Each structure stands twice: as structure tokens, then as C-alpha cells.
Structure 1
Amino acid sequence: MYVQVKQFVKMLHTLSRLLDKAQRHAGENKSDSAVLLNSRLSPDMLPLTSQVQMACDTARLATSVLSGKKPPVFEGMEKTIPELKALIQKSIDYITSLKECDFSGWEERIVAPDGWAGAFKGEDYFYQHAVPNFYFHMVTAYAILRHKGVHIGKMDYIGQLPFLR
């Protein structure tokens, strides 16, 4: 499990770097970054701001319930790139505060996140909801930025790879 937690952290750092590129793009094009933050791929989809918030929420909730900890609650009132980057960092700080031993027995732990209609085995919750949901919001955030002309590519999404030298 702890390896997967590290992947959440890696991808949240990636999301922060994508927002840096979005900020530069807005500056270079003399446009308001709020336009990017309120952009969406389809009228029935949530805007970029919500995609970032939900990626952070998913990573925090998943690591919380699978470690048996109470998840931290953030208001979700971010409206600027610096505020979103601060949310990402707070999420990373929380996730990295958990220790590998906190996840002992996570696969069999019964989890019932607040507001959910039922409970899951930890392994089912993680692989069938948390991971796909996290990556859905990550990819959607990337796609919105790309669609709005921010100069990013596949390697900006994948990030640094741990090549052996």
C-alpha cells in the first residue's frame, strides 16, 4: 500500500507543476488565470478548480480511511492558482505524515467513508474507487489545461521517472 501512497504524492507534485505552467501561460498571454481555473471540457463537467480539489480530496480520503485515521477537512474554497497549490501542498503534507505501519491490514480493513451508502473491503475501495477516481481528476485537469492551450505534454503528466543510472 505504501508504494501506492507514494504515487499519490508524485502525481500531486505533478499537478502543482501543471498549475505553474498554467500560471506562466496566463502571464505570457496576458490573460486572467481565473479563465483557466473555471474552464471545463464539457458543460456538464466540473471546472479545473474542482478537478484539482477532487484529486486532493481523493488522495487524502483514501489514505485516511485505509490507515484508519480521520481525514482532515478542508473547505474547498480555493479560487486562485496559489490557493490550489497550497491545497496540494497541505494534501501532500498530510499524506506524507502517515507511516507505512499505519496501513497495516489495509486490504481487509472495512471502510465506510462518511456520506457513502455502504462499506467496502479496503482493497476493493482502493482499487475500484480511489485509484480510478484520483486519476480521472488528474487526467481531466491535464486535459483542460491542454485544451486551453497551456503548453504541456505527456511527460509533463507522467513526471520524472526513476531511471537507474
Structure 2
Amino acid sequence: MNLHDVTVTSFLKMLANVDAWLDKAEAHAKERGFEVDVLLASRLAPDQYPLLRQIQSMCDAAKGPVARLVGREPPVHADNEKTWAETRARIKTCEEYLKSVTRHDFQGAEARVIPLPFMPGKGSPSKPYVEELALPNFYFHASMTYAILRHNGVPLGKADFIGHMTLVDL
């Protein structure tokens, strides 16, 4: 398995799952008679990011590591989404970026040391960077997105979190 599969493929799968959760959230809001946009300010604890920021952070946690692994600057987004539609568009923009990064772009990525923007002068070899930071950070924000939606009554279960599995006959 290469770093493209571990990052891009995994991130795209979970972003598709999140998109399906947001479909369920829209249906839930309609069924209950409230504007779905109110969910964007919802959070699990007073000192935690709200749903909107969790989704923005999840997108950043996907595109940033992928860009750094292939030696590029990550695309910058203004974090100015205010509506449900704008938030969903942010996810689509992230997916489009991830789809633009090919396996070929990852040539040499295993040998890279990834600079850590939040720790000036420090970096991490690419494999530990992915295992210890990129994947856990992305899945943390995806999990918080799931938890906030679930906390607000959106009918989600483990199968929604896991999503599609590739199966073969034994």
C-alpha cells in the first residue's frame, strides 16, 4: 500500500460518507421542521468547535497533508462558509483537490520529511507523519462531525460511519 492509497483514497471515502451524513441531516431537519443551517453552530461542549468548524478542519486535515506529502503548498480556503450549501461546497472543493493528486505525484513521498507548520523548525518523516498526525487528525474531525450530528438526533449508525466496504467471496 502506498501513501496515495493511505491518504487520498481513505480521505475521499470518508468525505463521501460525510456527504451522506449531511444528506441525512437535511432530511432530519425537514422532517422535524427546522432549518438545517442551525446545525452548523451546534457543538458537543462549550469549548469545542461547532459543526461548521469541524467540517472545515476535516477538509483542511485532508488537503494539507496530501499537498505536503507531494511537495506542494496546500490550497487555502478562507473559512468563510456560513450556510449549509456553502459548507457542502467546501467538501466538494476538497474532494476535487484530492482527486487531482495522482499516484504519480506521490513519487518520492516516502523519503520526504514533512515540515510541521504549527512547530516551526520541526518536521516528521512522511510515514510517521501520516500514521501519527494526518490520519488521526482527519478522523478526529470526521468523528466529531458524526457525533455532533448524532447528538442532534440525526439517525446515524456505525454503518453510516464505516460506509461502503469492498467484499470478496471466500
Pairwise TM-score range, normalised by the shorter structure: over 0.9
* Kept after mapping to 2: 8 A contact 1:37/1:49: yes
Q: Deviations over 1:5-28 (max 9, x none)?
A: 201001011111111111111111
TM-score under structure 2 length normalisation: 0.92
Partner of 1:47: 50
Q: CA deviation at 1:162?
A: 1.2
Between 80-89 and 134-143, report the one with greater CA deviation: 80-89
Partner of 1:65: 68
Q: CA deviation at 1:35?
A: 2.3
Instruction: Determine which of 131, 152, 157 is the counterpart of 1:153.
Output: 157
User: 1:116-135 residue pairs with structure 2 within 5 A?
Assistant: 116-117=119-120, 118-135=122-139
Instruction: Determine which of 100, 103, 110 is the counterpart of 1:100.
Output: 103
Between 125-134 and 76-85, report the one with greater CA deviation: 76-85
* Kept after mapping to 1: 8 A contact 2:68/2:74: yes
Partner of 2:28: 25
3-state SS in 2 of match to 1:111: strand
Give the unaligned 5+ runs of structure 1: none
Query: Partner letter of residue 33 of structure 1?
Result: V
Between 112-121 and 16-25, report the one with greater CA deviation: 112-121
Instruction: Determine which of 12, 15, 18 is the counterpart of 1:15.
Output: 18
Give the unaligned 5+ runs of structure 2: none
Query: Partner letter of residue 3 of structure 1?
Result: D
Distance 1:49 1:92 in 2: 17
* Kept after mapping to 2: 8 A contact 1:38/1:47: yes
* Kept after mapping to 1: 8 A contact 2:41/2:52: yes
Distance 1:97 1:11 in 2: 17
Partner of 1:56: 59
Distance 2:89 2:37 in 1: 16
Distance 1:17 1:155 in 2: 11
Q: CA deviation at 1:36?
A: 1.2
Q: Does 2:17 match 1:38?
A: no
Distance 1:73 1:63 in 2: 13
* Kept after mapping to 2: 8 A contact 1:65/1:113: no
Partner of 2:4: 2
3-state SS in 2 of match to 1:24: helix
Query: Partner letter of residue 103 of structure 2?
Result: E
Indicate the percent of aligned positions where both proteins have the same amino acid.
40
